[in-house]
Structure 1
Amino acid sequence: MTTALTTSEKRTLEACELDIEKGASMVGRAMQTIRDDRLYRATHKTFEAYCQERWKISRQHAHNKIAHTEVVAAITDQLPEMSTMVDKIPERATRQIRDLEPEQQAKVIEVASKQGTQVPTSKAVASAKEQLEDFLEGDDEEETEEAPSPSIILDDCNRSVPDHLSAHYELGARIASCARTLDATLRELNELGKLPGSEFLHVADLETRLRAAKKEIRDSRYWTACPRCDGSGKCDLCGFRRFIPVSSKGLLTQPEKDVLKCN
């Protein structure tokens, strides 16, 4: 692979480095562009070496900046009307909610923004996150208490799970449990990344991979019995599995979705 930069890449690198020198709010995005497009390759073999020699910062410090930008972008997508305020959220605050889903991140910031300051502080974000986690735990307890009788198992679409698919459904529940375990791992990684000596623990990279793994795990679980063959396994939609995983919801026709009445 060539190490030389094209004219366009050189201009992009110059613009990114100018943003970094100014200490602008675009530092994270500039770092991300340099890392993802390997704009450092003309002078350095690795992004880590580039960060250390060009900016005197660790690779982890750069990734923290990048992660901050990603969180801000995700929240802005969810709360476009609050974009001006969201842009001013400090990195210390966004670091606390990296382990949450974008919708949850936005909810935390929305709650934190109502705690008396123009821009949510790290303390306000921590408090709002704790409220959200308490709320989610409460939902889990209610779902456990109100679980249907074992003789009538209902799936995500509130449809009765056929007896011959009950094992598949139970496996789906275990798969969902694995995804929740990853949530706990993400939270712990985020905490470890704040401790001295964690420079070589590339938290941002690990978080990205774990989030992708969590989505893949969740998308593979049982969603509902195949509506096209009524769970007989005699159609091309379910691939003879007799059920539809979460990842296959998009393959349903509109009439099938209307029959299921399930998002």
Structure 2
Amino acid sequence: MERAFFEAGKALMELRDRKLYRSTHKTFEEYCRVRPWRWRSHRFGHNRRQSYLLMDAAIIFDNLEQKCDRSDHILPTNEWQVRPLSKLEPDIQPEAWKQAVESANGKVPSHRIVKDAVQRILACGA
């Protein structure tokens, strides 16, 4: 379950990039708007914004997975945790994540902790 947002984002990217939505919809945006999804046990149509947020989160998660220290394996467990990292360049995201993990005493940091780490980095001129 903790990689569900990553898998959903990757699946949406594949649908968009390979234009797999065309069998039922004219555009990816239309597909996102009318496609019913199960999300946190509520059923609703994914809108374009949420779809793109999931795709962005998957890219950031992949970046962290590839570039973060393998010894601790502490990675995000939901899309909300990585959202603040989108304000940073990809090469700076792992450092911000590392700072957030340290602020969370070696545990998976909350959205607020990640946001604070990003704000500290941005304040230093990253």
Q: What range is the shorter-chain TM-score in? A: 0.7 to 0.9
- How far residue 74 of structure 1 moved from its aligned partner, in angstroms, is 1.3
- Counterpart residue type for residue 41 of structure 1: R
> After the TM superposition, which residues 1-263 of structure 1 pair with which residues of structure 2 at under 5 Å, given as runs?
24-25=4-5, 26-55=7-36, 56-81=45-70, 84-88=73-77, 90-115=78-103, 116=105, 118-136=107-125
User: What is the aligned partner in structure 1 of residue 39 from structure 2?
Assistant: none
Asked if the contact 2:76/2:108 (under 8 Å) is kept, the reply is no
Which TM-score applies when normalising by structure 1? 0.40
- How far residue 44 of structure 1 moved from its aligned partner, in angstroms, is 0.6
- How far residue 87 of structure 1 moved from its aligned partner, in angstroms, is 4.3
Return the alpha-carbon distance in structure 2 between the equivalents of residues 135 and 124 of structure 1: 17
Cα deviation, 1:119-172, whole Å, max 9, x if unaligned, reads 1111111111122123337xxxxxxxxxxxxxxxxxxxxxxxxxxxxxxxxxxx
- How far residue 103 of structure 1 moved from its aligned partner, in angstroms, is 2.1
Return the alpha-carbon distance in structure 2 between the equivalents of residues 83 and 76 of structure 1: 11
Identity %: 25
4+ residue segments displaced more than 6 Å = none
Give the CA RMSD over aligned residues.
2.1
Q: Measured at CA, do residues 36 and 129 of structure 1 come closer, stay the same or move farther in structure 2, by a change above 3 Å?
A: same
- Counterpart residue type for residue 55 of structure 2: I
Gaps of 5+ in 2: 37-44
SS of 1:40's equivalent?
helix
Return the alpha-carbon distance in structure 1 between the equivalents of residues 112 and 13 of structure 2: 27
Asked if the contact 2:9/2:56 (under 8 Å) is kept, the reply is yes
**Count of residue pairs brought into register by the alignment:** 114
Q: Measured at CA, do residues 37 and 82 of structure 1 come closer, stay the same or move farther in structure 2, by a change above 3 Å?
A: farther
- How far residue 80 of structure 1 moved from its aligned partner, in angstroms, is 4.8
- Counterpart residue type for residue 72 of structure 1: F
Return the alpha-carbon distance in structure 2 between the equivalents of residues 45 and 80 of structure 1: 42
Q: Measured at CA, do residues 131 and 105 of structure 1 come closer, stay the same or move farther in structure 2, by a change above 3 Å?
A: same
Gaps of 5+ in 1: 1-22, 138-263
- How far residue 83 of structure 1 moved from its aligned partner, in angstroms, is 7.8
Cα deviation, 1:24-45, whole Å, max 9, x if unaligned, reads 3411101111011110101110
User: What is the aligned partner in structure 2 of residue 6 from structure 1?
Assistant: none
**Structure number with higher relative contact order (C-alpha < 8 Å, ≥ 6 residues apart):** 2
Q: Measured at CA, do residues 58 and 83 of structure 1 come closer, stay the same or move farther in structure 2, by a change above 3 Å?
A: farther
Return the alpha-carbon distance in structure 2 between the equivalents of residues 50 and 112 of structure 1: 35
- Counterpart residue type for residue 54 of structure 2: K
Which TM-score applies when normalising by structure 2? 0.79
